[in-house]
Amino acid sequence: MKVIIGNAWPYANGSLHIGRVSSWMAGDILARYHRAKGDEVIFVSGSDCHGSPILNKAKEINKSSEELINKYHREFVRCFNKLGFSFDIFTRTDSEYHEKQVKNIIKSLYDKG
């Protein structure tokens, strides 16, 4: 069986805390369960790099949005790696990869009516 698990994408405007991190645990447990069963799993998440929370925080600390996003995305990746989360893809909403994948999904849905 093919299984796609998508977790919430945290805004890249601040550090993770236990309340935020715990919300990804269910997805990780589910991904591990399906892998153990032999299912084909893609566990996906990433940093949300758009929106007013990022713009507001960047302005508050007198940094560019890009500086803020880069800092927290790197921090998220380190944190999830240290915690042993099993993401297959952890990307960013401002990446070319993400844009391409979203366009492919929308095109596929459109083509199928």
- Among 12, 11, 9, 13, smallest CA distance to 57 is for 13
Q: What is the mean pLDDT of residues 6-22?
A: 90
- What does the pLDDT look like over 37-79, one tens digit per residue? 999 999 999 999 999 999 999 999 999 999 999 999 999 999 9
Give the domain range for residue 16: 2-111
pLDDT at residue 36 in the model: 98
Pair 6, 42: CB distance under 8 Å: no
Residue 53 is part of a domain; what is its CATH number?
A: 3.40.50.620
For residue 70, what pLDDT is reported?
98
Helix 65-83 and helix 18-36: axis angle, to 10°? 50
Specify the length of the chain in residues: 113
Number of compact structural domains in the chain: 1
- Give yes or no for a contact between 86 and 31, defined as CB atoms under 8 angstroms apart: yes
